[in-house]
Structure 1
Amino acid sequence: MLRSALLATCMLAAGLAAAQAPAQAQPQPQPTRTLTIGMAGIPTGMDPHYHSSNNNNAQLRQIFNPLLDLDTQSRIFPVLAESWRNIDDLTWEFRLREGVRFHDGTPFEAEDVAFSFARVPQVPNSPGPFTPMVRTIAEVRIIDPRTIHVITREPAPFFDRDITAIMILSRRIHANAVLGDFNQGRALIGTGAYRHVSYAQGERHEFTRNPDFWGPRPAWDRVITRYMTNNGARVAALLAGDVDLIDAVPVQDVQRLSQDPRLAVFTADSITTSYLMPDTVRDQAPFVTDKQGNPLPRNPLRDLRVRQAISLAIPREAIVSRLLVGQGRAAEQFAAPALPDRVQGLPPMATDLARARALLAEAGFPDGFRMTIHGPNGFIPSDADILQAIAQGLTRIGIETRVEVLPPANFFTRATAREFGMFMTTFTTSTAANMLRQVVATRDPVTGFGPFNRQHYSNPAVDAPLSEALRTMNPERRLALTAQAMRAATDDLGVIPVHYLRVSWAAQRARVRYDASPIWYTNALLASPAE
């Protein structure tokens, strides 16, 4: 785990110094270590409770801490809570770390945990809220200054995993903080390993080591993240030595950079799935017309046969093998292969253009129709190219398809406002049940289900077993219910899976090692000096 690696590094450095120094030698000042990162994705907001996106979460983890976190093997480890346990089906006990302070000296207290959990559902205008992670909390009881009990309304088997997503804020510092306060840096005060120095949205973010950090000394004294959405510019900056580390290595450059003796490439099979989400609800879908641009008498995306035809037209294997040069895997369900509760043994999703045309004819669209699919540009490797490949496949079966890509912040705002007929995006999580809960389950503000269900899809065959799974403590029964819900989602194609991401980072070999994250987090916490 990360904290163990940091601690080991610090102990090793201390041991070497002791062995080599003269008995009476005075301590020598340590050279300043600066890490410069070229990052492809631009965060959409600096409030850690505003938008659950990989870019946001990765950057903000350097400043803020959760109670518990996930390492790069998806194992839970303690952070602000030094231990935790399930007392009974409804009660979780957390023992809080002692002596932790926020960057301005404000002490971390048990009341801050209650404040943070309560704040999450109140953040306005979130394009991707964290609400499901705290949806089951009925009460937070402060037993003593270092012990809290979280009482849930129903059994919540994933609660400890869920709250790894929730950064802990201070009720004293952040009680009235809004998104603008975080974006301007005024509220970027956490308990994390790095302190905020400056932030220019879309350009760069600078951090400095927190000298009062409660954990092992961070590896870097200064961290500069440069937001570089252009693939060529990002690779060129690495080759020129202007940055030490880049993420989202273009798929066509992975092999070339791997063979460069000056560089090291670090790769992981992610727990991220790319998918299409069609509008299956409204009678008229935006950007879906006949081939002359006129409204259709009905929304074709509501017909399962049309969704099946779309899926059959997607050249998944060709996208992975040719377009992504093997950097990924064709999807056969919504959940990525590394997720422990995914369905086993599902067949590959076929590509069959003749069958797709026949299904369109059966659905009453023998001549097809016209559609625009939308997506973010620069959010995942080759996203615009993947969309073009999908559009070409759909056009071959008679669905005349155009592509429009947008900057991620604009895209997610418009997708949440339901401005698209069909769009492509991704979802990352550590359990299949949570993927379904967040993206496929019927939207419900009371339970917090479906915050990423931007097209308001609804399917009782998914909701019923999923709801039961999420309150079932027995792991075998929970696995069976999750599989039932996943099969229903796969059969109905309310979301149409495309591929599972393989993600890569490249670094100056003599400078940096990187612990490649299946969550595709890019930050200084996962980077260590190469020496």
Structure 2
Amino acid sequence: MRAFIMGFACCLLGAPAQGQNTQGQNTLTIATQSEPTAMDPHFHRSNSNNAILRQVFDPMVDFDNAGKIMPRLAESWRIVDDLTWEFRLREGVRFHDGTPLQPEDVAFSFARLPDVPNSPGSFASTVRTVSRVEIVDGRTLRVTTSEPTPFLDAELTAVLILSRRLHGQATTADFNNGRAMIGTGAYRHLSYEQGNRLEAARNPAFWGDAAPWERVQIRFMSNAGSRVAALSAGDVDLIDAVPTQDVARLEADPRIAVFGTESNGTAYLFPDTVREEAPFVTDHEGRPLVPNPLRDVRVRRAMSMAINRQGVVDRLLAGQGTPAEQFAPPIAIGRIPDQPPIPHDVARARALLAEAGYPNGFRMTLHGPSGWFPGDTDVLQAVAQGLNRIGVQTRVEVLPTATFFTRATNRDFAMFMTTYASNLAAITLQQVVATRNPTLRMGPFNRQHYSNPAMDALLQEALRTMDRTRRDALTAQAMRSAMEDVAVIPILYLKVNWAGLRHRVRYDPSPSWYTNALFATPAN
């Protein structure tokens, strides 16, 4: 089937793609790999949700694609003192139905974050230190925190603002069926068909510059070959998650432009270091292993050394990525400076396994999502091959993303691969490897319930340190503690690519992997 699709795509490349898209010259049609897990802006902190919903809803502040925090609904903000931030909202902003934006809506949005049922990845940690929101006047609010919070503005880039009047009783189902899809964004929601497409129209009353596209259609195409074929035929204007093996060919095509950038995301393995008996880990006869070998740091180091990261990037991803030497990517602030590469050393890995009491290895299953990033299944298979070489007989099981994340959150796996993206190393640690504490809203993505008190202490100090130099040094120490304990096994930093019809569209590539019309402009 793959050979047929690729052959079909190659045939299509021989014919001109002259915007056969029947939607019209002022309609942008995008084919995207991932669809949202829900349309509720506070349901799931995932890239696909965040990207699509930003067309309809706005945060108070946001990162631009250069990593700088920019005003959105808040035209300005300032630090009053170590525990107080003041935000000034833009004048005259209205939701799509005409309801005015007020400071009370921001307070409502903050309060709603922890209360969204069945969230597979909560936004609650973004406001974990917010103790009070004071309405100063019709456009100004003051946010009081329980401790110094130097990253509050960065955290709030993730929070899309809802209306207390329109969304006070709204459920996730109300967003999914469209009734609650009323925001302040550049585009108004028209329709959403799960598994098929989403449609939006330009908001004529948008508070910012008018959107260049009258209508936007986003088609969900998980199959990479189908996306490339649709672009080559001119059925869509833009695709994301360009298959790594197709980047060079598409770059050479005069009708197509490729837009790529290094991302702020890391692909990593997350081992179960907590349970005495882990699922999917057995001896060579298939009997459960007790104690769980993944609890031994020597085993985790051996598994990390077994991965040929440079080979994965060069051979499987055609150079579309960078081998990871720590959890946070190069774009992230506060990472370990001058960290050496993780060695690929099969002999040393075997020796470490023997020291840990597993000279003959063991068996396990490695899980991952299918279609989460280009080449993800191939990367999983390469990791499994590396583990097999050191005696850990590994099989791979991939699952649809919604199923995978639900099961990962339920702790159904011994070790799985996923990604995390952030411009801040401290937030990466706080979200993924900080000791899980729902009350303090720490470790919301710590699906394996890892705990390292030494790392926690350094991180907590960094998270309340207002001085940038000292904060970055503390974050780097916390990162080093996590890496020495092999809390996670970083594999690679991802490069992300979009491709579009050259005569139709230009795309400003997002390090956060965001695919939406906000970054697309007409070619002419």
Q: TM-score, normalised by structure 1?
A: 0.94
Q: Return the letter of the residue paired with 1:367.
A: N
Check the 8 A contact 1:244/1:507 in 2, yes or no. yes
CA distances 1:43-92 after superposition (whole Å, capped 9, x unpaired): 11111111111000000000000100110001111111111111111111
1:460 has 2:453 as partner: yes
Checking the alignment, whether the CA contact within 8 Å between 1:32 and 1:221 is kept in structure 2 is: no
- Alignment root-mean-square deviation, CA: 0.8
Name the CA distance, whole Å, in 1 between partners of 2:349 and 2:451: 24
Shift of 1:32: 5.8
Asked if 1:420 is matched to 2:434, the reply is no
- In structure 1, stretches of 5+ residues that fail to align are 1-30
Distance 1:42 1:354 in 2: 43
Deviations 1:494-519 (A, max 9, x none): 11100000010000000100001111
SS in 1 for 2:472: helix
**Aligned counterparts of 1:365 and 1:181: Cα–Cα separation in 2:** 53
1:486 to 473, 479, 489: 479
Q: Counterparts in 2 of 1:257-272, with a 5 A limit?
A: 257-272=250-265
Structure 1 residues 341-381: Cα deviation after superposition (integer angstroms, max 9, x where no partner): 11111110011111111111111111111100111100111
Structure 2 counterpart of 1:470, one-letter code: L
Q: Is the counterpart of residue 84 in structure 1 residue 109 in structure 2?
A: no
The match for 1:101 among 89, 94, 105 is 94
Q: Secondary structure at 2:157's aligned position in 1?
A: helix
Q: Deviations over 1:470-517 (max 9, x none)?
A: 000011111111011000011111111000000100000001000011
* SS in structure 2 at match of 1:500: strand
SS in structure 2 of the partner of residue 504 of structure 1: strand
Runs of 4+ off more than 6 Å:
none
What does 1:271-310 align with in structure 2 at a 5 Å threshold? 271-310=264-303
Give ranges in structure 2 of 5+ residues lacking alignment: 1-23
Write the distance in 2 (CA, Å) between the matches of 1:392 and 1:32: 48
Instruction: Check if 1:72 corresponds to 2:65.
Output: yes
The amino acid across from 1:412 in the alignment is: F
CA-to-aligned-CA distance 1:434-480 (integer Å, 9 cap, x gap): 00000010011122110000000000121001000000001111111
Query: What is the letter of the counterpart of residue 329 of structure 2?
Result: A
SS in 2 for 1:116: helix
8 A Cα contact 1:269 1:328, kept in partner: yes
Match of 2:171 among 178, 195, 213: 178
Partner Cα separation in structure 2 for residue 176 and residue 370 of structure 1? 49
For residues 367-426 of structure 1, give each alpha carbon's deviation from its aligned partner in whole angstroms, at most 9, with x where no partner exists: 111100111100111101100000011011111101111111111111001000000000
- Residue pair 2:313, 2:321 contacting (<8 A) in 1 also: yes
Map Cα deviations across residues 90-109 of structure 1 (whole Å, 9 max, x no partner): 11111111111111111111
Q: What percent identity do the matched residue pairs reach?
A: 64
Residue 296 of structure 1: how far off its partner (Å): 1.2
Aligned length: 501
Q: Classify the secondary structure of the residue corresponding to 2:444.
A: coil
1:318 aligns with 2:311: yes
1:12-35 Cα shifts (integer Å, max 9, x gaps): xxxxxxxxxxxxxxxxxxx86100
Q: Do the aligned partners of 2:333 and 2:472 also contact (CA within 8 Å) in 1?
A: no
1:71 & 1:414 partners in 2: Cα distance?
A: 33
The SS at the match of 2:441 is: coil
Structure 2 residue corresponding to 1:337, chosen from 330, 337, 353 = 330
For 1:284 and 1:179, how far apart are their aligned partners in 2?
36
Provide the residue aligned with 1:404 in structure 2: 397
Q: CA deviation at 1:340?
A: 2.2
Show the counterpart of 1:369: 362
1:387 aligns to what? Answer: 380
Q: Deviations over 1:292-311 (max 9, x none)?
A: 21111210000001001100
Aligned counterpart, 1:442: 435
Query: Displacement of 1:179 after TM fit?
Result: 1.2
The whole-number CA distance in structure 1 between the counterparts of 2:448 and 2:78 is: 37
CA distance in 1, matches of 2:363, 2:35: 32
**Letter of the structure 1 residue corresponding to residue 42 of structure 2:** H
CA distance in 1, matches of 2:370, 2:315: 20
Amino acid paired to 1:216? D
Does 2:243 align with 1:246? no
SS in 2 for 1:356: helix
What amino acid is aligned across from residue 113 of structure 2 in structure 1?
V
State whether residues 411 and 447 of structure 2, in contact with CA within 8 Å, keep that contact through their aligned partners in structure 1. yes
* Matched letter for residue 285 of structure 2: Q
Code of the aligned partner of 1:149: R
Tell me, yes or no, if the aligned pair for 2:89 and 2:140 is still in contact at 8 Å: yes
Cα contact 1:289–1:295 (8 A) shared by 2: yes
How far apart, in 1, do the equivalents of 2:374 and 2:26 lie?
A: 29
CA distance in 2, matches of 1:175, 1:74: 33
Separation in 1, partners of 2:225, 2:374: 12
Look up the equivalent residue of 2:100 and give its one-letter code. P
- Note the 1:195-214 alignment, pairs <5 A: 195-214=188-207
What is the TM-score of this pair, normalised by structure 2?
0.95
> Take 1:450 and 1:472, find their aligned partners in 2: how far apart are those partners?
19
Provide the residue aligned with 1:521 in structure 2. Answer: 514
Partner of 1:9: none
- Indicate whether 1:474 and 2:431 are aligned: no
